[in-house]
Amino acid sequence: MSEAVLTNTKPILPATAGLTRALSPFAEPLLRVTAGLMLMPHGAQKLFGWFGGYGVNGTGQFFAQKLGLPASLALLAGLIEFFGGLALALGIGTRVAAALVVAMMAVAIVHVHLPAGYFWTAGGYEYPLMWGILALAFVVRGGGRYSLDALIGREF
């Protein structure tokens, strides 16, 4: 749908049109910043043992013993979640950070969550799939106008 079509539609509640128009430019940055900030604690658990996490060693042992994955992936996953989340929140290196999140979520889905089915409440792939699709949107769109990428005039 083109932007012209979207701007020409009439709201069900006309009184909300001005507010919607004023806040619309902030919708995408809100998603980017929120996604980045919500990824960071997951990385902090893996890297630093914060928020009830086990740190790199404990997470590496869990990856190796329970998931059958190389223990070194704990460090990589923690780095992607923490620093990739920070990069997304700031909008710096947005496409690269988001692509790393997409790749990590694909690995998590295939190697960990797929056998448990769809629903996250049963350990399924619903949640990592949502994260992967959200990150994929930022691979495609970039950081947007309210990002450090836009401020420096360069995306990477």
pLDDT in tens, 94-152: 999 999 999 999 999 999 999 999 999 999 999 999 999 999 999 999 999 999 999 99
Question: Which domain range does residue 112 map to?
Answer: 28-152
Query: Mean pLDDT over residues 4-16, rounded?
Result: 73
| pLDDT band with cut points at 50, 70 and 90 for residue 74 | very high
CB 41 within 8 A of CB 47: no
**Is residue 19 situated within a structural domain?**
no
**Average pLDDT over the chain, rounded to whole?**
92
Give the number of domains in the chain: 1
**Is residue 97 situated within a structural domain?**
yes
- pLDDT value at position 66? 87
Nearest to 146 by CA among 45, 32, 49, 56: 32
Q: CA-CA distance, 101 to 104, in Å (whole number)?
A: 5
Alpha helices by DSSP H, listed for the chain, are 3-8, 17-23, 27-48, 55-66, 72-79, 85-90, 94-108, 126-141, 148-152
Residue 3 or residue 138, greater confidence: 138
- pLDDT value at position 20? 87
Distances (CA, A) of 133 to 13, 24, 34, 102, 112: 31, 21, 15, 7, 17
- pLDDT value at position 7? 59
